[in-house]
Homo-oligomer: A and B are copies of this chain.
């Protein structure tokens, strides 16, 4: 029996020596050895949290490492552990994740806000009742707490008399905004958590935060179980509408159970009881918010695109069936219109367009791309139908950004280099890969302005352009055991997507009456914005011609905004105000939008970024 080849892994500064098998994934190896490595994506290379410092054995950085780490960090040897395959001896340091350090980082460095969740938890040793002190239980609590008039929910009133006497009038009370949420015997003040939830059409993300320290104690994401009812919001609305109340209930149940699985995973990871989660904040697009609350979104699907809700909502957890303290309150962030939702207001809260002096542009790309343009004086928002191409749908070999998806493509005259998510064998093309392909092919002139493939005899790479079904040209992306092509039709879908976004941006500039030069920053939000190469975005003309440095990928801003509202009541007030301030305009009602859309489908005449 041949023994598998092994490598020495040395953990500095402890100088712990471990043996790892050739080819093993570093992230999973370290986790198995009981090292705490933060990860939001579970080790598939998309969250950028699992960084380690390679003192020996660092390879050239991958594109996704370039996205998540700075030049200086890469230079120093920082890499993402989840995309390292062990093929040599390594010496590495694992960053400390000691509680107070992480809390400090989260609050002061990352979110820049003071901790003020509104949830309070106090341990009290009450004076016992006696002939001289006949105060009722509620009054006793209220007066000992010294917080003025409190209201009590029935379940707390029901358990109060026995609970108080159970531990000899020693108990912990939890309350928010003068409303008591819970009582427990003894001192449980340390157990005080909140959860921020981002309901994406594709993915549910949950963030468990310690409301005492501000620490993010666990992060989880998971496919939205509603996907079995359809990939995009329109197909889900159709399901809900056609099957009436029953359909609506099923869709609500699907998303609620998905969120509950996320919450339970978060709680297991951090060893927290769901009963100690007292507050939740929820972001999501308007359809997701309607379906989560069980409200019929039907009228969003057709003109004039009317949602039921726009303002924020505060609802008891019990009524929504969430696995958290039943008296805990669920704060649903405000929306703007039928397509510009709480995910966008959360993104603006986080990126601070509403406080900017200069003009800023915020784009969240999905089946619909939401565009917000403006500054502290005025903010315009619109939604443009980018279609499903950038989420991998209607693309012959398209797929979501999951392990094995081609995320980055690099072409030169003769060679092609790919990067896949999780460094797996290529299985398909996701949105960022599609844009990279478009950009690289444009760069080499293998696609013309009108989007047609054309061979260049001077470039050996041209031989990847081949005739497929019905004599249509297609580009061979990967020729492994399962060849992957980019078809002419795929290029058309890309043109529709990028044309919708480009024309939306142009219209927003016109509506606000500003020029492109005045735009000081473009935030690309969402998973897509995080992974896409900005060069390729410009090469295909998805955005008008801008300096590359003005484009900033900002990741899941919906989740970040939800966290802000979870940790700080002032931010919850602020998001109400900014939602009021934002002006929505209906792109599809503008007379010349169709024309602009068609014009924007062309690729730029001359590659401009060589």
Q: Give me the interface of A with B, judged by CB distance under 8 Å.
A: 129-131, 133-139, 149, 151-152, 154, 157-158, 160-162, 165, 293-296, 298-299, 303-311, 313-315, 319, 337-338, 584, 586, 589
Task: Report Cα–Cα, A139/B314, bound state, in Å.
Answer: 16
CB distance from A264 to the nearest CB of B (A): 23
Contact assessment for B162 and A296 in the assembled complex, using a CB-CB cutoff below 8 Å = yes
Contact assessment for B130 and A308 in the assembled complex, using a CB-CB cutoff below 8 Å = no
Closest to A136 in B: B310
Contact assessment for A586 and B134 in the assembled complex, using a CB-CB cutoff below 8 Å = yes
Select A308's contact among B133, B160, B305, beta carbons within 8 Å.
B160
Contact assessment for B299 and A131 in the assembled complex, using a CB-CB cutoff below 8 Å = no
Task: Report Cα–Cα, A309/B307, bound state, in Å.
Answer: 42
A298: chain B residues at CB < 8 Å are: 161
Interface centre among A139, A295, A308 (most CB of B within 10 A): A308
A158: chain B residues at CB < 8 Å are: 294-296
A296: chain B residues at CB < 8 Å are: 158, 161-162
Contact assessment for A306 and B131 in the assembled complex, using a CB-CB cutoff below 8 Å = no
Determine how many copies of this chain the complex contains. Answer: 2
Contact assessment for A137 and B306 in the assembled complex, using a CB-CB cutoff below 8 Å = yes
Task: Report Cα–Cα, A18/B342, bound state, in Å.
Answer: 73
Closest to A297 in B: B161
Given A131-B303, A137-B299, A152-B313, 13 more contacts at CB 8 Å?
A129-B304, A131-B586, A134-B337, A137-B308, A138-B311, A151-B313, A151-B314, A154-B315, A157-B308, A160-B295, A161-B299, A161-B306, A165-B299
CB distance from A261 to the nearest CB of B (A): 23
A138: chain B residues at CB < 8 Å are: 308-311
Select A161's contact among B149, B304, B308, beta carbons within 8 Å.
B308
When A134-B305, A134-B584, A303-B131 are in contact, do A154 and B310 touch as well, CB less than 8 Å?
no
CB distance from A483 to the nearest CB of B (A): 47
Contact assessment for B133 and A304 in the assembled complex, using a CB-CB cutoff below 8 Å = yes
Contact assessment for A129 and B161 in the assembled complex, using a CB-CB cutoff below 8 Å = no
A293: chain B residues at CB < 8 Å are: 154, 157
A295: chain B residues at CB < 8 Å are: 154, 157-158, 160-161
Task: Report Cα–Cα, A296/B156, bound state, in Å.
Answer: 11
Contact assessment for B136 and A306 in the assembled complex, using a CB-CB cutoff below 8 Å = yes
Task: Report Cα–Cα, A154/B157, bound state, in Å.
Answer: 24
Which 9 A-B pairs have CB atoms at the shortest separation, nearest pair first?
A: A136-B310, A137-B308, A129-B306, A136-B307, A157-B295, A161-B296, A134-B304, A161-B308, A129-B304
Closest to A252 in B: B158
Task: Report Cα–Cα, A312/B154, bound state, in Å.
Answer: 13
CB distance from A137 to the nearest CB of B (A): 5
Query: Could you list 13 examples of A-B contacts with CB < 8 Å?
Result: A131-B589, A134-B306, A134-B337, A136-B338, A137-B309, A138-B308, A138-B310, A139-B310, A149-B311, A151-B314, A157-B295, A160-B295, A165-B299
CB distance from A593 to the nearest CB of B (A): 13
Task: Report Cα–Cα, A160/B161, bound state, in Å.
Answer: 41
Task: Report Cα–Cα, A138/B295, bound state, in Å.
Answer: 12
A586: chain B residues at CB < 8 Å are: 131, 134
CB distance from A280 to the nearest CB of B (A): 15
Task: Report Cα–Cα, A137/B298, bound state, in Å.
Answer: 12
Contact assessment for B136 and A308 in the assembled complex, using a CB-CB cutoff below 8 Å = yes
Task: Report Cα–Cα, A599/B347, bound state, in Å.
Answer: 79
A137: chain B residues at CB < 8 Å are: 299, 306-309
Task: Report Cα–Cα, A313/B136, bound state, in Å.
Answer: 14
CB distance from A286 to the nearest CB of B (A): 9
Task: Report Cα–Cα, A584/B315, bound state, in Å.
Answer: 39
CB distance from A16 to the nearest CB of B (A): 54
Task: Report Cα–Cα, A307/B131, bound state, in Å.
Answer: 13
A311: chain B residues at CB < 8 Å are: 138-139, 149
Task: Report Cα–Cα, A161/B130, bound state, in Å.
Answer: 56
Contact assessment for B304 and A131 in the assembled complex, using a CB-CB cutoff below 8 Å = yes
A161: chain B residues at CB < 8 Å are: 295-296, 298-299, 306, 308
Task: Report Cα–Cα, A470/B129, bound state, in Å.
Answer: 47
Contact assessment for A136 and B309 in the assembled complex, using a CB-CB cutoff below 8 Å = yes
Task: Report Cα–Cα, A599/B311, bound state, in Å.
Answer: 69
Task: Report Cα–Cα, A40/B309, bound state, in Å.
Answer: 46
Task: Report Cα–Cα, A311/B138, bound state, in Å.
Answer: 8
Task: Report Cα–Cα, A1/B154, bound state, in Å.
Answer: 66
CB distance from A143 to the nearest CB of B (A): 11
Select A157's contact among B299, B305, B309, beta carbons within 8 Å.
B309
Select A154's contact among B131, B299, B319, B589, beta carbons within 8 Å.
B319
Task: Report Cα–Cα, A307/B137, bound state, in Å.
Answer: 7
Select A304's contact among B130, B308, B338, beta carbons within 8 Å.
B130
